[in-house]
Amino acid sequence: MIYPYSPAFRAEIADRCAAFPRVPYDGADLKRSAVAIALVDADDGSGETAFLLTRRTSKLRSHAGQWALPGGRCDHGETLEETALRELHEELGLAIEPHAVLGVLDDYVTRSGYAITPVVAWLGHGAVPTPNPEEVASVHRIRLDHIGHEDAVEFITIPESERPVIRLRMGEGMVHAPTAALIYQLRELAAGRITRVLELEQPVFAWR
C-alpha cells in the first residue's frame, strides 16, 4: 500500500480523522499531555507521506535517549491541540496554524500516570525541522508505507502483565509503547482501519 504526500491523501486522512470514533480518557487523576503526529513529505524522492519521530537527548531526566513523538504536558488552560502544536514548535522549531490539525486519536494511559493524546497534523511542503538540542538528539522521517509492513509490528508477552507488549521495528532498533501504540493506531487509520490501542502494554522499564 502507498500513501502519497498529496492533497488527495491529505483529504482522505482528514476524512478518516473526522469520522474516527475517538475514545478519550475521562478521569481526573492522571496528568494530561499531547503529542504531535506531524505528517510530512518523506523527502527521499519517493513522494510518500512520513511522520516526524525524534530521539530524545541523553540530557533529559526522564526517558533519555528514547524514541518519541514531539509532545509534552499540557499547560493550564491549553487545549490538547494547542499543546501538541506548542511542543512541535518548541522541540522542532515548526510553527503551523491550527487549521493544519486533521484530528485527534484515542488517549493512551501510561504506567507513569499520564493520559497522552495524539494530535494528527499535516505539514506543508518545505517544512524543515530545527531540533532543539536541549531536548532532541535527532529527528527522523518515518514513512507510512514502511510501518505498514506486516513485520514492522510485533506483540510479545511478559510475565508481569496479561496485556500484550507492542514493539515497532525502526531499522535496527525498536520503539515501545506508549509511542509505539500511538504510531500503530496511526498506521491502522492510514490503512482505513479503526484499531484500539489502550490495552497494548508498555515494557517494564517504562513503568515509572
Calculate the average pLDDT of the chain: 92
**Cis before 7? omega within 30:** no
Q: Which of 22-31, 140-149, 193-202 has the lowest mean pLDDT?
A: 22-31
The whole-number pLDDT of residue 58 equals 65
Kindly report, residue by residue over 49-69, the tens digit of the pLDDT.
999 999 888 675 665 567 899
| Alpha-helical regions (H) of the chain | 7-19, 80-92, 144-147, 179-190
Kindly report, residue by residue over 30-50, the tens digit of the pLDDT.
999 999 999 999 999 999 999
The whole-number pLDDT of residue 57 equals 83
Which of residues 176 and 1 earns the better pLDDT score? 176
Quick one: 94 exposed, middle or buried, by C-beta within 10 A (0-12, 13-18, 19+)? Answer: buried
Res 28 pLDDT > 80: no
Which of residues 130 and 28 earns the better pLDDT score? 130
- pLDDT grade for 172, boundaries at 50, 70 and 90: low
CA distances from 25 to 7, 107, 178 (A): 32, 6, 15
The whole-number pLDDT of residue 103 equals 97
